[in-house]
């Protein structure tokens, strides 16, 4: 269920910045058709930082409703206050979500012991499967392999989304955790290399635009066919890079609008509209990738 290509889904909004249900439905259908393995609802790419908690919960529940059990839904439930992360997680108990993706606390920069106690407290307050999320470039703290190993002993902490882009991390973590602990890349540019080193998939931004191709790359990689996987990934290399020229999800929302997946590329401040120079680079990357328009 949690291997292969998992999309970090964008949150479509109308011109006024309200959630666009029709575009969300189209996005979900796109991923069902193209056999994406699961959807992460309201992670970083879903603009969790600018949604109220009520909106956050409503979008996850709307995604569950529109998915209609056709694809697993993973809810982003991270927060920089442990009590808030627990509260948000408990709101999804018995909702139908398949797991939670829980980012390391941001801004307050806890110690490794603080990180351990944070995730331990969440784990002890829910039966929902938990996927740790380590992205130091955004949070200001790094969940080290030794701490991941300690956390892997909790039955419902089932894996980690490792988004440092540091490929040496995977071997360090693999040596310390139990064999069934999931290792999922959070960096599209290095995801295939991550899988070749033993990772089981990627939580992908690129999949918002190239769902079929990311599914194929991961499927080949999981079978050990890295020749075909690299052949497809080579076409996506410029796209992996271009989608992060400006802060995520500015580029991916604009490109999703351009190819007809969503109606508007509306963002909430402090995110701002895409630059013209970035648009040109995205168009070039999209053409190079040879992706089909809808």
Marked catalytic residue, from 26, 37, 133, 257: 133
Band of residue 163 on the pLDDT scale cut at 50, 70, 90: very high
Residues 267, 236, 180: CA angle, nearest 5 degrees: 90
* Residue 133 falls in the annotated catalytic set: yes
Q: What is the pTM of this model?
A: 0.96
Q: What is the pLDDT of residue 178?
A: 86
Cβ atoms of 77 and 85 closer than 8 Å:
yes
Cβ proximity of 291 and 42 under 8 Å: no
Share of the chain above pLDDT 70, in %: 99
What are the pLDDT digits (tens) for 242-262?
999 999 999 999 999 999 999
Model confidence at 73, in pLDDT bands (50, 70, 90)? very high
List, for residues 185-210, the tens digit of each pLDDT value.
Answer: 999 999 999 999 999 999 999 999 99
- 218 pLDDT tier (thresholds 50, 70, 90): very high
- CB of 156 closer than 8 Å to CB of 184: no
At residue 2, does pLDDT exceed 70?
A: yes
Q: What is the pLDDT of residue 291?
A: 85
Looking at 37, 161, 257, 281, which residue is catalytic?
Answer: 161
Q: Three-class SS of residue 282? A: helix
30 assigned to active site:
no
State the chain's mean pLDDT as an integer: 96
pLDDT of residue 292: 65
Question: What DSSP string describes 52-104?
Answer: -HHHHHHHHHHHHHHHTTSS-EEEE---SSHHHHHHHHHHTTTSS--EEEEEP
Please name which of 177, 153, 40, 171 lies closest in space to residue 99, comparing C-alpha atoms.
40
Res. 294: pLDDT tops 60: no
Domains and CATH numbers, the chain: 4-225 (3.20.20.70)
Q: Which residues are annotated as a binding site?
A: 45, 203
pLDDT at residue 175 tops 60: yes
pLDDT of residue 293: 58
Residue 14: per-residue pLDDT: 96
The whole-angstrom separation of Cα 102 and Cα 126 is 13
């Amino acid at each position: 269920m949690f291997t292969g290509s998992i999309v970090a889904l964008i949150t479509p909004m109308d011109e006024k910045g309200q959630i666009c249900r029709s575009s969300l439905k189209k996005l979900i259908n796109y991923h069902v058709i193209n056999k994406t393995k699961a959807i992460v609802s309201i992670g970083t790419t879903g603009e969790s930082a600018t949604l109220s908690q009520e909106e956050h919960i409503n979008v996850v529940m709307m995604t569950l409703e529109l998915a209609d059990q056709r694809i697993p839904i993973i809810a982003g439930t991270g927060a920089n206050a442990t009590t808030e992360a627990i509260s948000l997680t408990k709101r999804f108990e018995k909702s139908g979500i398949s797991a939670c993706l829980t980012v390391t606390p941001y801004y307050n920069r806890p110690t490794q012991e603080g990180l351990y106690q944070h995730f331990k407290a969440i784990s002890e307050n829910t039966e929902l499967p938990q996927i740790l999320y380590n992205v130091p470039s955004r949070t200001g703290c790094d969940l080290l392999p030794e701490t991941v190993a300690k956390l892997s002993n909790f039955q419902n902490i089932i894996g980690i989304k490792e988004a440092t882009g540091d490929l040496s991390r995977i071997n360090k973590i693999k040596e310390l955790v139990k064999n069934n602990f999931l290792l999922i890349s959070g960096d599209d540019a290095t995801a295939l290399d991550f899988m070749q080193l033993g990772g089981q998939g990627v939580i992908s931004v690129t999949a918002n635009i190239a769902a079929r191709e990311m599914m194929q790359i991961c499927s080949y990689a999981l079978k050990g066919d890295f020749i075909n996987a690299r052949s497809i990934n080579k076409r996506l290399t410029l796209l992996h890079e271009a989608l992060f020229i400006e802060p995520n999800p500015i580029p991916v929302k604009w490109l999703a609008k351009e190819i007809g997946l969503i109606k508007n590329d509306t963002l909430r401040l402090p995110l701002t509209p895409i630059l013209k120079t970035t648009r040109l680079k995205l168009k070039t990357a999209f053409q190079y990738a040879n992706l089909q328009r809808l």
